[in-house]
Structure 1
Amino acid sequence: MIQRWDRLDYDALAGSARIIGFDLDNTLANSRKPMLPSVAGRFSELTNHIDVAVITGGRWELVVSQIIDVLTPQACKSNMHLMPTSGTRYYRWLNGEWARVFSHDLTADQCARASASLERRAREMGLWPGHVWGERIENRGSQITLSVLGQQAPLEAKQAFDPDGSLKRRLAEAVAADLPDLKVHAGGYTSIDVSQQGIDKGFAVRELARLNDFPVERMIFVGDRMNEDGNDYPAVQAGAMGVAVNNPDDTVKFIDAMLERIA
């Protein structure tokens, strides 16, 4: 089930929730930017009252700069579950440091084949523009990501690139035909992700539930891309309660409403 943040029965939600998961870019923070102080403060406070997860397509280093580095001193890190690269990696705060619980890394051969296919198919479809912002293809260890406009593209350019998602779908289908042993899916506004088979945000949700011994139905997942083609939708398919937001401002209002009931 998916509901908008402003149409929720917050009393019922607060009574049933075991853990609250969040997408990162355009949900907790603007793309590749740190959480604003208004978000960081509420997020940190939330960790004192309930387990909190972040599941993002971005690499671990972005989780550090966007989330960890801007937490308030009051944040309860032991209640945090951090899953970068679409849940292919999982980190917890153990013995005073961030420890990797698991990592489903690609082999060198898989990385090479994925990178080659992404570039070849993007060029064939005319999705290899002359001007980009930053790196196009990034090896994140457990995930290879193509960002058509570059990793550092401004949000406005990303949103205008492929409004209906049709270009990304066609590109993902072409790459998937080259890589039958791997999982290929459209990621953010301009990105295609390649990882091990069966791993996406749905996998991350199921693993969180299994490893922490709670029913997946008692997880809330908040994201800005909850449509069926969006990279947050697999979390709902796995059984989590989906909460749709448009931006970090909506997320602040969602957290405030939850804190009123659980703090």
Structure 2
Amino acid sequence: MQHIIENLARHNITNIILSIGYKADTIKEYFQTNPIPNIPIQYIYEDQPLGTGGAVKQASQSLNQNQPFILTWGDNLMDIDWTQMQHLHNQSNTQITMALTPREDVENFGVAKIEHDKIIQFIEKPPRNQAPSNLINAGAFIIHPSALTILPEGKSSIEKDCFELLAPKQQITAYNHTGQWFPTDTLEKYYYANEHFQPYINLKEKNIIIADVDDTICDTCQQISPEMTEHISKMIKRGYEFAFISGTKKEDLHKMISSRLKEKHHLLATTGTNYGLVEKDKVELKYNYSFSPTEKEEILAALDKVVTHFEIKSMTSTEDQIQDRESQITLSAIGRHAPIDIKKRHDPTGEKRKVWVEYLKQHLDETKYDIKIGGTTSIDITRKGLNKEWGIRTFLQHNNFHPNQVLFFGDKLHPGGNDYPATRIVDCIAVKNPKDTLERLKQLCP
């Protein structure tokens, strides 16, 4: 919802009304805690469900009845060009302009039938070979209030009781949205949208790159590639700061990055709890936060239990399976240095580790520790709150850097992923692998 409002603001649309019912207090509290600058938000509460039609009709009562208004659903991530859409609406003579977006899986949606830029009918979930187009309702509209007079009082559906009745009268102009569009109405779709949606980022103000390491800068447990090294070196020479944050301990992180990268850079080992500045082949330790002996003993005992209970066998050694990284203790299921191809096949969806995490929560105090899935086969345990958000924030404060200067790259930015906390403090770009990261860096700095 924040992405939607920020996108509206970029098109000078700043009078925002949220119609809320389910989890209304949570939504209001979020925007009170995280206000969007210069965007006041009004709230209209549904005491009882009014349906899409009733909710829109209620929310629009305070608006100028002679001026069109913008309506958008809150569960679609998209980058609609509202300026262009308003221009089209102003040129049309229809009551409604509706954004449509192309989909291959039209059998899962209502599909628009179009004649001369007007929507004349909606066909609900047609077989692909019978669909009148591949365009579906994107959930973004410009509506003249007069269109809502067709709605009955009380509960109604704007789709059934308004759009479907006005379409045959050629009162809906079609606006073809070809940008990003991700529905988030199921948990699976939500995770997919978080991984693939690219939010608007003002790249001109970015001069600090913070990146995850495994599967973002390097293949798992491998050295940075010569090509990646060359391009990052070029960016550093052009004035960019580079910091690398990982659950990896400082010695391994130095081997993965600093053995090849010779320009000045920052290593944020063990999720940023150990910060070293690398310059001229020397590492200057800036700060370090470690577990106490009692904390280590408690965590190691819990990990021994999970390994025994689930019969998790290391392909390397015990020390390589359970690693003490001073401020983070990591379980690498089959060993950190097991063959990469086997590691990638071991738990690609994280389902095994989700079960192990739940088991660990029975043996470790969740008020003291964070237990997160990380890497390809690992589970990371840190003190509560010592995640990548904390690591990035502490690094920025130490160097008097501002979060607006930062662009973060990570391969696990979805909720539950170990990069996800970074989204709460800096702008982020989701990547699939080091090759994808390198392509994005080249786009940022050719």
Partner of 1:213: 400
Q: State yes or no: 1:120 paired with 2:309.
A: no
CA distance in 1, matches of 2:270, 2:358: 20
CA distance in 2, matches of 1:154, 1:232: 24
Structure 2 gap ranges (5+): 4-193
Give the number of the structure whose alpha-carbon radius of gyration is greater: 2
SS in 2 for 1:38: helix
Q: Which residue, out of 1, 9, 16, partners 2:205?
A: 16
CA-to-partner distance for each residue in 1:199-236, whole Å, 9 max, x for gaps?
Answer: 01111111122222233243211011122121111111
CA distance in 2, matches of 1:97, 1:182: 33
1:236–1:9 CA distance, 2 compared to 1 (3 A): closer
CA offset at residue 71 of structure 1?
1.5
CA distance in 1, matches of 2:405, 2:306: 40
Q: State yes or no: 1:133 paired with 2:316.
A: yes
Q: Confirm or deny: 8 A CA contact 1:4 1:243 kept in the other structure.
A: no
Q: Confirm or deny: 8 A CA contact 1:176 1:183 kept in the other structure.
A: no
Partner of 1:189: 376
CA distance in 1, matches of 2:303, 2:219: 26
Q: State yes or no: 1:65 paired with 2:255.
A: yes
CA distance in 2, matches of 1:95, 1:196: 33
Matches within 5 A, 1:1-263: 12-13=202-203, 15-48=204-237, 49-72=239-262, 75=263, 77=264, 80-93=265-278, 97-126=282-311, 128-129=312-313, 132-134=315-317, 135-180=320-365, 181-237=368-424, 239-260=425-446
Letter in 2 for 1:189: T
CA offset at residue 9 of structure 1?
6.5
Q: Confirm or deny: 8 A CA contact 2:372 2:417 kept in the other structure.
A: no
CA offset at residue 96 of structure 1?
7.5
Q: TM-score, normalised by structure 1?
A: 0.86
SS in 2 for 1:199: coil
SS in 2 for 1:121: helix
CA distance in 2, matches of 1:70, 1:8: 32
SS in 1 for 2:361: helix
Q: TM-score, normalised by structure 2?
A: 0.52
CA offset at residue 246 of structure 1?
1.2
Q: Confirm or deny: 8 A CA contact 2:195 2:414 kept in the other structure.
A: no
SS in 1 for 2:230: helix
Task: Please give the root-mean-square deviation of Cα atoms over the aligned residues, in Å.
Answer: 2.3
Q: Confirm or deny: 8 A CA contact 2:273 2:290 kept in the other structure.
A: yes
CA distance in 1, matches of 2:281, 2:271: 25
Letter in 2 for 1:43: I
CA distance in 2, matches of 1:137, 1:222: 27
Letter in 2 for 1:88: T
Identity of aligned residues (%): 27
SS in 2 for 1:114: helix
CA distance in 1, matches of 2:200, 2:195: 10
Letter in 2 for 1:242: C
SS in 1 for 2:381: strand
Q: Confirm or deny: 8 A CA contact 1:3 1:243 kept in the other structure.
A: no
SS in 2 for 1:170: helix
CA distance in 2, matches of 1:233, 1:172: 17
SS in 1 for 2:334: coil
Letter in 2 for 1:249: K
Count of residues in Structure 1 that have an aligned counterpart in Structure 2: 249
CA-to-partner distance for each residue in 1:34-56, whole Å, 9 max, x for gaps?
Answer: 11110111111222221111001
SS in 1 for 2:382: strand
Q: Confirm or deny: 8 A CA contact 2:272 2:395 kept in the other structure.
A: no
CA-to-partner distance for each residue in 1:6-58, whole Å, 9 max, x for gaps?
Answer: x6778x31x02141111111111111111111011111122222111100111
CA distance in 2, matches of 1:169, 1:90: 29
SS in 2 for 1:70: coil
Which structure has more RCO (C-alpha within 8 Å, separation ≥ 6)? Answer: 1
CA distance in 2, matches of 1:213, 1:173: 38
CA offset at residue 173 of structure 1?
2.8
Q: Which moved more, 1:15-24 or 1:168-177?
A: 168-177
Letter in 2 for 1:133: T
CA distance in 1, matches of 2:326, 2:214: 20
